[in-house]
Amino acid sequence: MRPALRRGLRLAALALTLAAGGALAQETLEVRLQAPDELRPLLERHVRLLRQEALELPEEPADRSAMTRRARREVAGLLATEGYFSPRVRFDRSDARAWLLEVEPGPRTVIAQVELQFVGEIATSGPGGSEYLDLLRAGWSLPVGAPFSQGGWDGAKQALLDAVAARRYAAARIVDSRAEIDPESARATLRVRIDSGPTFYLGELDVEGLEHLPVDLVERYSQLEPGSPYDREALLAFQTELQNTPHFGSVIVDIERDPTLSSAVPVRVRVTEALPRYAGAGAGYSTNTGARVEFSYRDSNLRKRGWEFSSGLRIEERRQALFADVFLPPRGRDRDSFGALYEASDLEGLKIDSQALGAARTTLRGDIETQLALRLQHENVEPSGAPSRSTNTLSANWTWKKRAVDNVLDPTSGYVLEFQVGGGSKTLLSDQDFLRFYSRVARYQPVRGTDVFILRGEAGVTLADSREGVPQDFLFRSGGAQSVRGYDYQSLGVKEGNATVGGRYLATASAEYVRWFQPQWGAAVFVDAGDAADTRADYDLRVGYGVGARWRSPAGPLAIDLAWGHQERSLRLHFGVAVAF
């Protein structure tokens, strides 16, 4: 045989051998799992043999044995994290290319004993004494009889440490923790020892990051008292309040957890300043006042004093407004502001043109807000078909408001209350003596999970010899979205010529049920009733009822309502934002 021919045959044989070897290497192995349903997701997610869709079958028996040993270790380790310490794990390899992994977890370990020990100041002179320690023990999340898991064990320790460190004991730490497992009896004994360290007392603010804003601006927002015990929630509330101002782009409030500083630990405030000036534009529509466009301008560091200047122009079909306000930095819980307003409207045949200067002090205590305001106002009123008139008023108004709801923009439970009292006097630049009282309430009651039942009511009275000389802001009209639906906006009031003007009495009520079919979409049914009048004898209850659609937008639930006005025998569409006032 020729040499060249022999070489060709050898190469062909080698190629066939490589091809055969490649074919063997490409053979795949299927591994099926037989395990309790509650453990299948854990095993399928973490055991490598079960994760791989195309698993190559090892050629050598030793490699296959190593593969099964590794899988058994992985299964045993995973089951141990869930409290199964005596599992039975075996492979059925009777089918060379389709193995069966059988897992019997055995009994799950349960907590048989829990020992929580506290040392440090919390155990000797902490507030509440033994009662406080009993509360900490009662809050332990892995009680006797609960199943053991590594995640639950780690979470319980961290939750206990967080509870101790949240108030007073900022340097608290776990000095010892043990979980003693008896696999034969499937019982666990847990021991945790926490050293609270000393009580931390707050010192002065240590502020970094101010460049253009006044150095005392952060201090004016602070409600933290030097010498008061450390409270993590109070620091987070301070951080949130600073972050919600237009002054700062980011805020971090914290302390150094060094026991040597516990007697007066500095409160570290790290800020980055936001861009002080902002201009914006927007557009919208409501059935109350029609289409609108608006423009705004804000300067959060007016005159480099940290004053907030806010101005805007709003142009609506039936109402226009131009305003400018200045908000001074707070002093404790109080915040002062002053501003000017020009407003014009043409609603239900009544044209109003007013200019006002005002100043206010707003006080916020938790979810209760109060405001005392003074306002100097000139108003021109032109009722269609009746004589025009003008009024001058210096008024004072006090407002008390409580928002006890789960979400201010989209409340589903809780309530909102508001009370107002205000007035003016002839002896103090007003054309008429008057005193106005007003209140409103809204109750949000969750029903069947996500549904909401809403009750709303308002009432008001203006004490005066007559409505003449009283500004329209201190009288009452009703009707429209967020009032008595089925009637035009501010169409319920006193007839003067061809116009509807404000009266001295008001009372309205509403009941609404909102069914949320999806997280963002819902439907509502409602009934409204009320009226505004100049005397109690003229009060005539008007009723409206209907159905609507709801969409949860970033600005709050948008409401589209179709309402029937019972007295007027008319159908009206109302569109607006359904938010808590």
Query: pLDDT tens-digit profile of 123-167?
Result: 987 777 788 999 999 999 999 999 999 999 999 999 999 999 999
pLDDT of residue 94: 83
- The listed CATH number (3.10.20.310, 3.40.50.720, 3.40.640.10, 3.60.110.10) that belongs to domain 201-273: 3.10.20.310
Which whole number is the average pLDDT over 529-556? 93
CATH class for the region spanning 110-195 = alpha beta
Secondary structure (H, E, C), 344-362: EEEECCEEEEEEEEEEEEE
What is the rounded average pLDDT for all residues in the chain? 91
Whether pLDDT at 4 is above 70? no
Geometric angle at alpha carbon 578, from 577 and 581, rounded to 5°: 105
Residue of 453 and 14 predicted with greater confidence: 453
Domain 28-104 fold is: Ubiquitin-like (UB roll) (3.10.20)
pLDDT score for 11: 38
pLDDT at 469 over 50: yes
The arrangement of secondary structure in 330-577, i.e. its CATH architecture, is Beta Barrel (2.40)
Task: Using the predicted structure, report yes or no on whether residue 7 has a pLDDT greater than 50.
Answer: no
Asked if 339 and 358 count as a contact pair (C-beta separation under 8 A), the reply is: yes
pLDDT higher than 90, residue 578: no
Question: What pLDDT, on the 0 to 100 scale, is given for residue 13?
Answer: 40
Long-range contacts, 225-230 (Cβ 8 Å, 24+): 226/202, 226/264, 227/201, 227/202, 227/264, 228/201, 228/202, 229/167, 229/168, 229/199, 229/200, 229/201, 229/202, 230/167, 230/168, 230/169, 230/170, 230/199, 230/200, 230/201, 230/202, 230/255, 230/265
3-state secondary structure of 91: strand
Contacts of 165 by beta carbon, 8 Å cutoff, 6+ apart: 171, 172, 232
- What are the sequence ranges of the domains in the chain? 28-104, 110-195, 201-273, 330-577
Could you check whether 28-104 and 201-273 share the same CATH topology? yes
pLDDT at residue number 9: 38
